[in-house]
Amino acid sequence: MSKYAVILMFVLLIASPSTRAQTVVATEKRPIVDEETARLRNVIAGSKKVQKILKQAESGTEYRISFVTTKYDPASPYQGYTTINEGSDKKGITVHIAGSVSRELIELLASHELFHIVLQKQGWPSQAQNPLISDQERDTTFQGAVVKDATAALMNCYPDALIDRWMSQRGFTPKVINRREYQLTVDAAKTSEIPPPQIFPLWRRYVALVNYCLSIRARDFEMKDVFKAYERVDPEMAGDQSALEQKLGTRSGCNNVRSCLEATKKLRHAAGFDGQIKFLTPLTNKWE
């Protein structure tokens, strides 16, 4: 059984069991600049706050960062993600932002993704593996999809909360994108697939993980509406998240890469994913 090693894309995921994880970085073709992408780039070029973070993200690297819009896909809902392009002589990073959003959301989403790039430069893992599933299972089974989603959720959990604080310090309002993510989560939960009985415990752990991570974000909404949306599938969903909160607390206490890595290891254990998710730590060059 082969290990599944991926380069992680940092993404705002929606807590839907039918979501396909945005965790594989493929070689990117040169995107066609459509009207939405042109608007996106104009907003970013005209935002002094975003340009400052962009300069920080590009500083000291050979990569250049570009921005494109991506159409909303109900089967794979997200607000933004980042890919590394290796298909041309000039290396680059592409930040993908959901199309048809307001100017404020463009600035917020672009800044969020850029801060993920900054974290990677500081030593946050960019590769993860799932030792207990094969490549075929990853791509063709419900279990594989759940483990992929759990990998992305785990690796984004504490960084997202840290980035919320960084954005607030730069004069942004991260609650706006988190409120939108919350609404997308509720909508996805209402129509989510009921997992097969043999996968149900794994799926419960995954959804509890995603909901816990949403709960520690900067927010002005109540998690009870998320739990209510899941009632038809699992009326005990709130109890699963409460169990994580009792073990880990209700706030993200990490403030740098090293402390967030330690917190992520504790979260992996508490959520029941030890052995199923490993990541390559640049600070030690070891799989942990």
pLDDT at 9 > cutoff 50:
no
Taking all residues of the chain, what is their mean pLDDT, rounded to a whole number?
A: 84
**What was the pLDDT predicted at 268?**
97
Q: For residues 127-155, give the mean pLDDT.
A: 88
Q: For residues 92-98, give the mean pLDDT.
A: 91
pLDDT band per the 50, 70, 90 thresholds, residue 107: very high
Q: How far apart are CA 253 and CA 259, in angstroms?
A: 8
Q: How far apart are CA 125 and CA 120, in angstroms?
A: 7
Contacts of 201 (CB under 8 A, 6+ apart): none
**CB-based burial, 174-200: b 16+ in 10 Å, e otherwise:** bbbbbbbbbebbbebbeebeebeeebe
pLDDT at 13 > cutoff 80:
no
Closest CA to 185 of 229, 222, 144: 229
pLDDT digits (tens, 9 = 90+) for 215-254: 999 999 999 888 888 888 888 888 888 899 999 988 877 9
pLDDT band per the 50, 70, 90 thresholds, residue 95: very high
* Residue 75, CA distances (Å) to 162, 192, 193 in order: 28, 10, 11
**What was the pLDDT predicted at 87?**
57
| Lowest pLDDT segment from 20-34, 132-146, 223-237, 244-258 | 20-34
**What was the pLDDT predicted at 163?**
97
pLDDT band per the 50, 70, 90 thresholds, residue 89: low
Q: How many CA atoms lie within 13 A of 146 on its CB side?
A: 24
Structure tokens given for 278: 């490993």
pLDDT digits (tens, 9 = 90+) for 52-63: 999 999 998 888
Q: How far apart are CA 189 and CA 200, in angstroms?
A: 15
Q: For residues 164-171, give the mean pLDDT.
A: 96
pLDDT digits (tens, 9 = 90+) for 261-278: 999 999 999 999 999 999
